[in-house]
C-alpha cells in the first residue's frame, strides 16, 4: 500500500469513527429527548387528573349542598303542612265549641219558652 492509500484508509477509518460517535451522541440525545417528552406527558396527565379530581370534588360538594337544601325544603314543607293541619284542627275545634255553645243557647231558650209560654191575647 502506498502512503496515499494509507492516508485514504486512515481517513475512512476516522470518518467511520466520527460517524459512530455522532450516531451514539444522537442516540443519547434521542433517549434524553424521549425521556423529557415522557416526563412532560406525565406531568400533563398529573395536572389534568388534579383538575378532574378538583372538578369531581366540587361537583360532589355541590350535590351534597343540593341534597341538603332539598332536605331543608322538604323539612320546611313538612313543618308548614303540620302547622297548617294544626291551625285547621284548631279552627274546627273552635267551630265545634261555637256550635255547642249556640246549641246550648238555643236549648236554653226553648226550655225557657216552654217554662214561660207567652200569653196569647
Above 60 in pLDDT, residue 5? yes
Q: How far apart are the first and last CA of the chain?
A: 175
Identify whether 43 is part of a domain: yes
- Whole-angstrom Cα distance, residue 71 to residue 52? 28
User: For the chain, how many structural domains are there in total?
Assistant: 1
Identify whether 4 is part of a domain: no
Strand ranges (DSSP E) for the chain?
none
List the domain range (segments joined by +) for residue 31.
Answer: 21-58
- Whole-angstrom Cα distance, residue 113 to residue 121? 17
The band of 108, judged by pLDDT with boundaries at 50, 70 and 90, is confident
Identify whether 51 is part of a domain: yes
Identify whether 108 is part of a domain: no
Identify whether 82 is part of a domain: no
Residues 46-96: pLDDT tens digits? 888 888 888 888 888 898 899 999 888 888 888 888 888 888 887 777 777
Identify whether 101 is part of a domain: no
Residues 10-44: pLDDT tens digits? 788 888 888 887 777 666 677 778 888 888 899 88
Identify whether 15 is part of a domain: no
Above 70 in pLDDT, residue 120? no
Residue 30: what are its φ and ψ, rounded to 5°?
A: -60, -45
Amino acid at each position: 500500500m502506498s502512503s496515499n492509500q494509507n492516508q485514504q484508509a486512515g481517513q475512512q477509518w476516522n470518518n467511520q469513527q466520527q460517524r459512530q460517535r455522532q450516531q451514539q451522541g444522537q442516540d443519547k440525545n434521542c433517549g434524553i429527548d424521549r425521556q423529557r417528552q415522557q416526563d412532560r406527558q406525565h406531568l400533563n396527565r398529573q395536572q389534568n387528573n388534579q383538575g378532574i379530581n378538583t372538578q369531581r370534588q366540587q361537583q360532589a360538594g355541590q350535590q351534597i349542598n343540593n341534597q341538603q337544601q332539598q332536605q331543608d325544603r322538604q323539612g320546611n314543607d313538612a313543618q308548614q303542612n303540620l302547622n297548617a293541619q294544626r291551625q285547621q284542627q284548631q279552627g274546627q275545634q273552635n267551630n265545634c265549641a261555637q256550635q255547642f255553645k249556640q246549641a246550648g243557647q238555643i236549648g236554653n231558650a226553648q226550655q225557657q219558652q216552654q217554662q214561660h209560654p207567652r200569653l196569647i191575647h
